[in-house]
Every structure is written in C-alpha cells, then in structure tokens.
Amino acid sequence: MRNIKHRRVFSGLLILSAAVAVLILRLAWVQLIMKEQTVPGTKYTLAKMAEIQSERETVLDSGRGRLYDRKNQPLAGETIWAAAFFPQEEMAKKSVTKSVYEEAKPMHRLAEIMGVSYEQLLNKRSSLKEPLLWPSSVG
C-alpha cells in the first residue's frame, strides 16, 4: 500500500516537472529565438511590438474611488506623470534610420516637460541597464 502511494506521488511530481520544463523551454524559445522574427499580420518583430506596446499611456487605478480625510483632502488617488524609459537594444542603436534632428526634437520636448536639461535626459537614457520610471518634476 505504501509503495503504491509513493509511486503515485513520484508520478505526479514527474508529470508536473515535465510540464514546467515544457513551459520554460517555450519561454526561452520566444525570448531568444523568435524575438527577431516578424509577427504575422504586421511588419514588426516581437521586440519592436513590445516597444510599441510599452510606449502607450498606462493608467493605474485602484478601482475603489478617491479616499479623503475629514478635511476633504485626498489621501490617495493622486495623479503622477512619469516617463518610462527602456534600455535600447544593440541592433536598435546600430540601425539608425531617423536623422539626428528627427530624434532630437521629441527628446527636447520631453526634457522640457520633465523639467530637466536635454543633456541630463540623453545621459540617463544612454546609460540604462534596466527599465526606469522617471517622475516628472512638473505636474
């Protein structure tokens, strides 16, 4: 009886381990092999589609409504404007299709909106190793 129970537990663990291994292999395949292939129905690669998706505005909402203290001052639910920066991949750095002017114009505007100098913004962007959420000093 005890031997059958051990076999069932071992079989269950073996099946579960195999399923996790398949998921890990699929994830590695998508992230390492398929990232440079174009997505069917579009002209973009998976890496470019992820970049496009991350450029959209994201609104985080608690869903509970606003919370106020007894003096009617908001306790939470404050709007904070921030820019999300992602490290550039080596291929994106090498294949420059935009002119310097086309690249600099939106960066100058972003620096103005965020209340920092253009040089500070470029230095921060070029030295990124991981994604950065940079809150704006201006409301």
pTM of the model: 0.43
Q: How far apart (Å, rounded) are the C-alpha atoms in residues 21 and 12?
A: 14
Whether the Cβ atoms of residue 121 and residue 114 lie closer than 8 Å to each other: yes
pLDDT at 57: 66
Half-sphere exposure of 54 (CA within 13 A, CB side): 15
What is residue 91's predicted lDDT score, i.e. its pLDDT?
Answer: 46
Digits of tens for pLDDT over the chain (139 positions)? 678 889 999 999 999 999 999 999 999 998 888 888 888 888 888 888 887 777 776 666 666 777 888 998 888 767 777 788 888 765 455 445 556 666 778 888 888 888 888 898 888 888 888 888 887 666 5
List, for residues 83-113, the tens digit of each pLDDT value.
Answer: 888 887 654 554 455 566 667 788 888 888 8
pLDDT of residue 59: 66
Residue-level pLDDT at 83: 81
Question: Among candidates 17, 139, 11, 25, which has minimal Cα distance to 82?
Answer: 139
